[in-house]
A and B are shown apart, each in its own frame.
Chain A
Amino acid sequence: MTSLQDWLLDAHDRDDRRGLVALYREAADSTDDIDAACFYLTHAYIYALEMGDPAQDQIYLRLKAHGRV
């Protein structure tokens, strides 16, 4: 079974930035470690920001809730 890590690497290889937004959000949701989650959310946020993806607003609020932006 393909792991999330593999999906992420594949998305990076294909430069699928919209896919990366979703995958990094999924990575953030799959951990209970706040620091790890914010690391992933940061990546999701940056790619969303770059692509003008409306998801950026929600991600921003999550980071803000943890004092990370």
Chain B
Amino acid sequence: MAKDIPPQTLDAVRQPIEPANGLPNAHYIDPDVFAVERQAVLCATWAGLAVAADVPEPGDAKPMEFLGMPLLLVRDRQRRVRVFQNICRHRGMILVSEPKKIEGAIRCPYHSWCYSTSGKLVSTPHVGGPGHNTHDAIEKELLGLIEVRSHIWFDTVFINIDGTAAPFEEVHADLIARWSDFDQPLHHGGPDSTFILDVKTNWKLAVENYCESYHLPWVHPGLNSYSRLEDHYNINEKGKFSGQGTLVYRQLKGEDGTVFPDFAGLDAKWTEGGEYLTVYPNVLLGVQRDHAFVIVLEPVSHEETREHVHLYYATPQTDDALRAKNSVQWRGIFEEDVFVVEGMQKGRYAPDFDGGRFSPAMDGPTHCFHDWVAGKVAAHLAAP
């Protein structure tokens, strides 16, 4: 496998931005390289899976698939959000096949082994023969659901599949500190504030496009009419996160001048400021004084990505019309990006493309991401 990713191509990415090349084509179009990145970049880090708002009440359960793995998102009786491998410890049957409310226990539909919402195996019917529900060989305390390491931040459910990452708070300490003003309740806008975009692109291209403001005047001319290129700044935290900020965020207004309530206690810099960051590897976040958003990029395959978009507000109730207008506005902006990320994906089949070059002035956040990916892949390949 390592021979498919020549070390010199990763070295070329990790150069200073001026001479650096981007990740080569294989990282976008080769299923074998996708498989390497799956382990190195998505399983060994804190990847975004979902939002906690997907399971708002105790007992809510949502089966999910991530990188082909069957997972189960559950809010347990103590209101803690947990992620399990969605299989029975008996014969590996899928436990939950559609979103549902777990009234009592999670019952396997095959032989009815039952688990609590916190993953404990609570009953093994007939396991010792008809009407005998225990057997010495079946130690229930050792056969709970297999839990996936998870952490909730910014209402986002992050998972570390291989269990090797440093604690989330440690990995993302700088980011958490940067946005500490928003460490307060985020209220999901509800069904009209979430949508999914299925995009024919490698997930990394969605990150790369999101990170930089260079494309704004060309791809989002409407946005650029009030948020000009020169009003943006790059955010480059090498090895950590990257993105962009604006100095001229303007609140959306309704017909009668209604605006969304602000988050409480924000620093003055957020009055007209907004920031848009990627939590590596696959979560795109945006914050402004009156609303925020989370986009979880689901890497479906090496050339398919499902973007799960969620909008959040400072208060549980917001103006219905304004909220709908906001959803339409963001959806329009994100849809404007689709042709770009799909176009770059097609472009990656050009055999002589060398990964491209970066504008040292404008592409820092994108290079920062490439550098991070290349570093993770290189470390993975160098591991014994």
Contacts and interface: CB of A to CB of B under 8 A. Distances in A.
A35 interface: yes
Interface string B96-125: 000000011111000010100000001101
A51 interface: yes
Interface stretch (B29-37, B38-46, B129-137, B280-288): B129-137
B279 to A, nearest CB: 36
Contacts of B122: 49
Contact of B125 (A35, A43, A52, A53): A43
A43 B134 CA distance: 14
B133 A42 contact: yes
B103, B106, B131, B132 — which one has the most chain A CB atoms within 10 A of its CB? B131
Interface in A16-63: 35-39, 41-43, 45-46, 48-53, 56, 63
Contacts of B131: 35-39, 41-42, 68
B132 A49 contact: no
A69 B125 CA distance: 9
Contact of B132 (A37, A46, A53, A68): A68
23 contacts: A35-B131, A38-B132, A39-B130, A41-B131, A42-B125, A45-B123, A45-B125, A45-B133, A46-B107, A46-B123, A48-B104, A49-B104, A49-B105, A49-B123, A50-B105, A50-B114, A52-B105, A53-B104, A63-B133, A68-B131, A68-B132, A69-B123, A69-B134
B103 A51 contact: yes
B253 interface: no
Contacts of A36: 131
B125 A46 contact: yes
A41 to B, nearest CB: 8
Contacts of A46: 107, 112, 114, 123, 125
Contacts of B90: none
A14 to B, nearest CB: 16
Nearest to B114: A49
A56 B103 CA distance: 13
B26 to A, nearest CB: 48
Given A46-B112, A46-B125, A49-B114, A68 B133 contact: yes
